[in-house]
Structure 1
Amino acid sequence: MILLIDFMGLLACAFLLLLLAQHLRLALRARGYRPPPQADEAPPGILLQIPLFNEAASVEGALASALALDWPAGKLTIQLLDDSSDETSALAAGALARLPPGGPEVQHIRRADRRGFKAGALAEGLQRSDAPLIAILDADFRAPADWLRQAAAALAADENAAFAQFRFEFANRDLNWMTRGQQLSVDAHFLAEQAGRQAGGEPFQFNGTGAVWRRAVIEAAGGWSPDTLAEDLDLTFRAYAAGWHGLLLLDPPLACEAPADLASWRVQQARWSTGFVQVAVKALPLVWRSQWSLSAKLGSSLLLGLQLGLPCFLVAAAAFILDAVLRGFGPGHGTILCLAVLMVAGAAVAITLPPFRRLRRGGICSYGAVLAMIPVLLGFMALANSASVVIAPFKRRHDFVRTPKTGGR
């Protein structure tokens, strides 16, 4: 019995160490990141899609922000993809009625049902426009005025680029300990993980918002698919498998809203955890049938399997505790515990401190206080979402549960 427990714990620890080594590798590679070049061309037509589902607190701000973008009015179409069941639709209609003449075309699209969730709404909107570039913003995102110009210029300079993904940061990051911890994590995601993949020529993910796609790539890759809860990651790998690649732009960032309480954050993370596993089942065969390098295949597999780290963490912790109870806590257990803490803490600092300093988030004391919040968030996520990760491949139906947002109110 003890041997079985130890074996399971070792397997879980091995996978966790593999994930840790991968993130350290990406953080080191990120030093080689260079902003993609940009080229001038005549402004192409752009379709800006804003998916909405019960976004009463954000819909008017989202529309105002979209209308403030620096792009010729005759070349921009804005779509409010509204699947709402609350007052969001009435607020959107009222905002549209107050618009002065002469601006971009704004389409308010209502569907009879939420079939396909966000992927279904995006696909429906594509049928109403023939614009060659497709921009996507969630309702709580606020882009700088020159966002579309930078994205279009980057895509114009690289004809093999499928999309231009921008970094984002939380406007409410200083609200509480949770939002500060999430900002540290997101900074590391973009400046270490995403930048490391881009610098190494490996697939990196489209984050579902804050990006501009080539319409031709979306169509060539098979369009938006509603069979997972991570339609963004799914399309990413289908596009890369078809020979395209993404572009990462770290500046300027787009502002958005972080979940400010554990209940809202859990809703968001549960959806992402489930979606990652669903896409892993679907995309891993594409990855290993591709002509990518072994490094790219392994890195992509670890990206797709990232959420398996949650149940592995619980298995490793449970195995350690059970072994200590059954054998009696001895010097060996203390040594293992100390080594694990030092290893994880050292890796966490190596991955998160450079982005923290580069973005000037604060002093070293502030950094230490924020870093201490990460284990709390990860521990909660492991307890809350491990079951979702394990059952995701076997569950046929998954509902898209919206992350609650306040719109800054």
Structure 2
Amino acid sequence: MILFYALSQLNLLVNYLQANRKASATNYQVPTKADLPYVTIQLPVFNELYVIERLLENIALIDYPKDKLEIQVLDDSTDESLEITSMEVDKLQNLGFDIQHIMRTDRSGYKAGALKEGLKTAKGEFIAIFDADFLPQPDWLLKTVGYFQDPDIGVVQTRWSHLNRNYSILTQIQAFALDAHFTLEQVGRNSKGHFINFNGTAGIWRKQTIYDAGNWQGDTLTEDLDLSYRAQLKQWKFKYLEDVTTPAELPIVISAARSQQFRWNKGGAENFQKMFKRVLSSKTISAKTKFHGILHLLNSTMFLNVLIVAVLSIPMLYIKNEYEHLKVYFIVMSFFVISTLIFFVCYWYMYRNIYGGGFKNFVTYIGMFFTFFSIAMGFSLHNSIAVIEGHIGKRSEFVRTPKFNLTAVGSNWKANKYLRKKLSPNVVIEGLLTLYFIFGLYSAFIVGDQGGDFGLFPFHLMLVIGFGFVFIRSLTDKQ
């Protein structure tokens, strides 16, 4: 499964390079002010005390005629941020903005429910969505709405950039993973007409598309992926813009990263269960698009596969060196090595595209890749639990990722009231797995009678680094 996924990434790299080589002709024209359509901006928020003012001040800078722009603050908050939001909305109303503060009495459907509620009264023909930590550029709408001149396009999605990429190792590896998704994967799929996903924010929908696809549904934790697949199965086209970036904040604390990762990975598994039969039985999409679609929906399940490979690798090391006739069966372990090399090549092109080539950047990339790969494996237990829950249909609430706005609170982030104070019980198991893989390193020296077996040593070293990092940061990122 991991090898199949790696091969699909390699195919996406080929697509990505082809897409970059030929300047894709487009009939996009910036509409004149008279021709601009009516747009509703939806801002789904929940207890965003630290970023709500920044969000609304930034949205007020959007360069778009006020008589063709509506702003909906979809506020499910239960704390004092409600009052701050109300005051900010009043200010903008006094400045002539058509802005509504929409509050629900319950959070049924979570973010999907809030978006659906706002849609009932939305005046816009097109619906732009931004999460609370996203800061679109003033010309964002002017760069996106023109693509809807093609009546088949239902969604325009833009690339995320990162306000705090270099804050820490944790933010750097999150940025690395997201950059791979927003370059290699999104361009690679979109350029060949394969299914991509609206990323929940920094994109704009044709309202008709949302209704035609069955509206927002709250039965998965990734309502954006769900609606994206339903819309594309209805033959709506998606347009991805790599060159339009929208900066946002990355989680700086591992508990915040955990909650985000849990939601994304569980939601991916839930959507696989919900959508894979519809994708396979569709008569309107090609076999290749089905292949990429299924592996896209199985993306989060790769964490479970990696965890299984990791845990079994130590007993495998002993069996391989005790039973000569079984060695042939362990050649399949090379599949994982091949997969790692494929990921290394694919991500280098992504990295080079963002930071430039050259020997110095390549050396930096090698360090970043192995750091990323190690820490991703360190998250594999946490994410595997999320994946299993998603596949078996266990329900859980939508937990928003705490935002920090470090420019406002500085180094005082530990005072953030939304931080989880309780340590996850999984941390204990992650600590034990760190010790287990240290034993794997030791085993390399003692197995067999030929002076050891070091074939898995680099793999076990990365696992020690990854699980050790996640374990230690989980203990230290507390008050």
Q: 1:197 aligns with which of 189, 195, 199?
A: 189
Q: 1:278 aligns with which of 243, 247, 270?
A: 270
Gaps of 5+ in 2: 410-479
Q: 1:347 aligns with which of 342, 349, 362?
A: 342
Partners in 2 of 1:224 and 1:338 — Cα distance?
42
Matched, 1:323 2:321: no
Q: Where does residue 31 of structure 1 map in the other structure?
A: 17
Deviation at residue 346 of structure 1 after TM alignment? 2.3
Partners in 2 of 1:259 and 1:222 — Cα distance?
32
Partners in 2 of 1:64 and 1:185 — Cα distance?
29
After superposition, residues 213-228 of structure 1 pair within 5 angstroms as: 213-228=205-220
- TM-score, scaled relative to structure 2: 0.78
Q: Deviations over 1:371-403 (max 9, x none)?
A: 122122211221112122113233342200111
**3-state SS in 1 of match to 2:300:** helix
**Larger RCO (alpha carbons 8 Å, 6+ apart):** 1
Could you say if the C-alpha distance between residues 337 and 297 of structure 1 is closer, same or farther in structure 2, counting changes exceeding 3 Å? closer
Q: Where does residue 164 of structure 2 map in the other structure?
A: 172
Q: Deviations over 1:34-65 (max 9, x none)?
A: 56541244111100001101111111111111
* Residue range with higher mean Cα deviation, 377-386 or 198-207: 377-386
Q: Where does residue 6 of structure 1 map in the other structure?
A: none
Q: Where does residue 372 of structure 2 map in the other structure?
A: 374
Q: Where does residue 144 of structure 1 map in the other structure?
A: 137
Give the residue type in structure 2 aligned to 1:382. Answer: S
Matched, 1:264 2:256: yes
**3-state SS in 1 of match to 2:185:** helix
Deviation at residue 98 of structure 1 after TM alignment? 2.9
Deviation at residue 302 of structure 1 after TM alignment? 0.6
Q: Where does residue 353 of structure 2 map in the other structure?
A: 358
Partners in 2 of 1:379 and 1:366 — Cα distance?
20
* Residue range with higher mean Cα deviation, 24-33 or 136-145: 24-33
Q: Deviations over 1:176-232 (max 9, x none)?
A: 111111112111111111100011111111111110000000001110001111100
Aligned Cα root-mean-square deviation (Å): 2.1
Given that 2:70 and 2:123 are in contact with CA atoms closer than 8 Å, whether structure 1 keeps it comes out as: no
Q: Where does residue 8 of structure 1 map in the other structure?
A: none
Deviation at residue 101 of structure 1 after TM alignment? 3.2
Matched, 1:88 2:66: no
Q: Where does residue 236 of structure 1 map in the other structure?
A: 228
Partners in 1 of 2:260 and 2:44 — Cα distance?
16
Given that 1:144 and 1:252 are in contact with CA atoms closer than 8 Å, whether structure 2 keeps it comes out as: no
Given that 1:75 and 1:104 are in contact with CA atoms closer than 8 Å, whether structure 2 keeps it comes out as: no
Partners in 2 of 1:100 and 1:389 — Cα distance?
44
Deviation at residue 336 of structure 1 after TM alignment? 5.3
* Residue range with higher mean Cα deviation, 114-123 or 289-298: 289-298
Given that 2:40 and 2:72 are in contact with CA atoms closer than 8 Å, whether structure 1 keeps it comes out as: yes
Could you say if the C-alpha distance between residues 115 and 148 of structure 1 is closer, same or farther in structure 2, counting changes exceeding 3 Å? same
Q: Deviations over 1:41-90 (max 9, x none)?
A: 41111000011011111111111111101110111111111111122111
Give the residue type in structure 2 aligned to 1:352. Answer: Y
Give the residue type in structure 2 aligned to 1:360. Answer: Y
Given that 1:169 and 1:256 are in contact with CA atoms closer than 8 Å, whether structure 2 keeps it comes out as: yes
Partners in 1 of 2:384 and 2:168 — Cα distance?
25
What percent of counterpart residues are identical? 31
Partners in 2 of 1:57 and 1:148 — Cα distance?
25
Matched, 1:155 2:148: yes
Partners in 2 of 1:37 and 1:208 — Cα distance?
26
Matched, 1:108 2:101: yes
Q: Where does residue 308 of structure 1 map in the other structure?
A: 301
Partners in 1 of 2:244 and 2:38 — Cα distance?
22
Partners in 2 of 1:247 and 1:112 — Cα distance?
35
Give the residue type in structure 2 aligned to 1:95. Answer: E
**Number of residue pairs matched by the alignment:** 394
Partners in 1 of 2:312 and 2:303 — Cα distance?
14
Give the residue type in structure 1 aligned to 2:385. Answer: A
Give the residue type in structure 1 aligned to 2:108. Answer: R
* Residue range with higher mean Cα deviation, 314-323 or 289-298: 314-323
Q: Where does residue 5 of structure 2 map in the other structure?
A: 19
Q: Deviations over 1:295-339 (max 9, x none)?
A: 001110110111111111111222222222345478959x95994
Higher Cα Rg: structure 1 or 2?
2
Q: Where does residue 387 of structure 2 map in the other structure?
A: 389
Could you say if the C-alpha distance between residues 29 and 110 of structure 1 is closer, same or farther in structure 2, counting changes exceeding 3 Å? same
Q: Where does residue 115 of structure 2 map in the other structure?
A: 122
Partners in 1 of 2:4 and 2:368 — Cα distance?
25
